[in-house]
Amino acid sequence: MRATNVKDVVFHIGFLSMIVGQVFVIYYHVNELSLESIDLSQRIFNSNWYDQSSEVKRSLLIVMARVQRPLVLTIGNFAVIDNDLIVTMVKAAYTFVMYHII
């Protein structure tokens, strides 16, 4: 079914805007979390870890070893949440809405 009047066009554009807004909020925070996880090892190293007890030093070493790989969030076992996925989703939503408008 294709949109034939202004009301349908406005509805579809509003719907696309709402979906893009919701996806942006989620993906923005996922991206920030991933960036922070990448920077965590460097922040620990730059802290005053050398003034701490040997138990704290050992714990920080374990944490630094574990955060060498960046945090990756997934959608189940389906896909990794990253910038490429959000671009693909927005393009698909845009194509879907434009198909119904034209």
Residue 50 sits in which domain range?
6-101
Q: Per the domain annotation, does 29 fall within a domain?
A: yes
Q: How many domains does the chain contain in total?
A: 1
Task: Using pLDDT thresholds of 50, 70 and 90, give the confidence band for residue 80.
Answer: confident
pLDDT of residue 2: 54
Q: Per the domain annotation, does 20 fall within a domain?
A: yes
Cβ(2)–Cβ(83) below 8 Å:
no
Q: Supply the pTM of this predicted model.
A: 0.65
Q: Per the domain annotation, does 1 fall within a domain?
A: no
